[in-house]
Structure 1
Amino acid sequence: MTLRDYPTDPIKTLINSGATSNFISPSLVEQLKIPKTLLENPQVVRMLDGTISQTGCIWHQVQLVVLANGHSHIIPFLVCPIGNTPAILGMTWLTTESPLIDWQQGLVTFPEQVQIASKEEADPDPLVDLPPQYHEFAKVFGEEEFKVLPPHREYDISIDLVPDAKLSPGPIYSMMDAESKALKQHIDEELATGKI
C-alpha cells in the first residue's frame, strides 16, 4: 500500500479476511513517526484458536490515507505487533471498500465509484427531440392522458367473480422500507385516478 502523507516505498501489506480489524506494526508507526490516538476502549486480540494474544491489549490506533488506483482511502489501523508483516488489512477494510482481487495476478482494484442519478427535471418542450411525423401522438405519452382510463369498447372483457368463493392464500413478500413507500405511493395514485 502507498501512503499519501509519508514519503516511503509502498508498504507490503497482507489482506486477511480472517482478521476482524486492520493492524499496523508499532515499529512502522515509530519509523514513519505516525501520530497515534489513544483508544477509548482498549481492544483484546484473540488468536485463531480463541486464545488471547500474548501482546496484551491494543491501546492505540492510527488513521492513514492510502492511495490506490487513483483514489485515496482513509483507513484506521490498530497498532499491534504482527510479526514480520508491516500491515494487515482485515474485514473492516474489506467490507468498507469491497475491492476486486485478482488472485492469479496478485492485483487489487476497486470498482468504479457510481453515483445514483438524481431525479431529472421534466423537459419543458418534449417535442424538440421527437420526429415531426410523431407529433400528433405526443399527447398519448403525456401525464394527463396517462391518468385517464380509455373509454369502454365492445371488445372489453369482464371478470365474473364467484360469490362467496374462498381465496387461496398467497405468499407474503418482504419489502424494504423504500419498496413499501413506493408501493403505497403507486396504490394511492392509482386509487386517486380511479384506475383501481
Structure 2
Amino acid sequence: MSIEPLICAALQSNSSLLISLDIEGITGSHTALIDSGSSANFIDPQYAHWLSLPLTELSSPWQVLGINGKEVRDAVRFKCTLRITVQSHFFTPTFFCLPLGDRDTILGLPWLRQANPDIGWLSMVVKLPDPLIAEAADIIAFSSPLFTIPTEYEQFKEVFGEQFFASLPPHRPYN
C-alpha cells in the first residue's frame, strides 16, 4: 500500500501569516503559521518535546514534499493530536512532527477547511467567524406566524390555541 506524501509549502516560503493559539493543558500562548499549501498540520519535534506532548509513532514513515516538489530530508515518524483554541473556537487537529526551522507549528489545509477563516491577504489578518453570528445565520424567521391548522389535526384545534396553555390540567390523584 502506497501512502500519499504530505506537502509542506511553508518550508520553502517566506510568507508569514501567523495566528495565536492556546494548547489545552499547556500554559502560555503559541503562534502558528497558516499555510494553505500544506496538506497537513505540522509541529516541530523539538517544540513538541519542549512542551512534553504525547507523540504517537506512525506505523511507517511518511515522506514530505516541499513546495518545489522535492522530497524533504526528514520523513514524518510521529504525530500528536491536540485540543487548541483559536479566537475562542475549539479545534482538535492532528499535527505531524517535522523539523520546521524557525516555526513551531503550521496549520495547513485540514485546519483551514474546518475553521474556514476570513483571511485578509493585504492586511495579513485572520478572522474566524463569531460563533453566535454563525448560529444566528442558521435560524430562519417566518415573515408571518402560521395560523392555519392542517385538516388532519382539525379535531385537536383547541390544543393549538393560546387558551389551552393559559391554565394547568385538572388535578388528578396520579401523576
TM-score (norm 2): 0.61
Percent of counterpart pairs with the same letter? 24
Using the TM superposition, give the Cα deviation of residue 63 of structure 1 relative to its aligned residue in structure 2, in angstroms.
1.1
Partner in structure 1 of residue 62 of structure 2 = 43
Partner in structure 1 of residue 135 of structure 2 = 114
SS at match of 1:54: coil
Using the TM superposition, give the Cα deviation of residue 69 of structure 1 relative to its aligned residue in structure 2, in angstroms.
2.5
Alignment partners' CA distance in 2, 1:17 and 1:7? 27
Superposition pairs of residues 35-74 of structure 1, within 5 angstroms = 35-55=54-74, 57-74=75-92
Give CA-to-partner distance per residue, 1:15-52, whole Å, 9 cap, x none. Answer: 00011100001111111111101123431101112111
Partner in structure 1 of residue 104 of structure 2 = 86
1:6 aligns to 2:26 (yes or no): yes
Partner in structure 2 of residue 153 of structure 1 = none
SS at match of 2:63: strand
Partner in structure 2 of residue 166 of structure 1 = none
Change (3 A) 1:107 1:98: closer
Native 8 Å contact 2:117 2:126 kept in 1: no
Give CA-to-partner distance per residue, 1:94-149, whole Å, 9 cap, x none. Answer: 112212223426233235253967xxxxxxxxxxx89xxxxxxx6xx33229xxxx
Partner in structure 2 of residue 155 of structure 1 = none
Alignment partners' CA distance in 2, 1:18 and 1:105? 16
Using the TM superposition, give the Cα deviation of residue 70 of structure 1 relative to its aligned residue in structure 2, in angstroms.
2.2
| Matched AA of 2:27 | P
Native 8 Å contact 1:69 1:110 kept in 2: no
SS at match of 1:114: helix
Alignment partners' CA distance in 2, 1:34 and 1:79? 11
Alignment partners' CA distance in 2, 1:64 and 1:108? 21
Q: Which runs of 5+ in 2 are unaligned?
A: 1-20, 140-144, 153-175
Q: Which has the higher contact order (CA 8 A, sep 6+)?
A: 2
TM-score (norm 1): 0.55
SS at match of 2:84: strand
Alignment partners' CA distance in 2, 1:45 and 1:144? 65
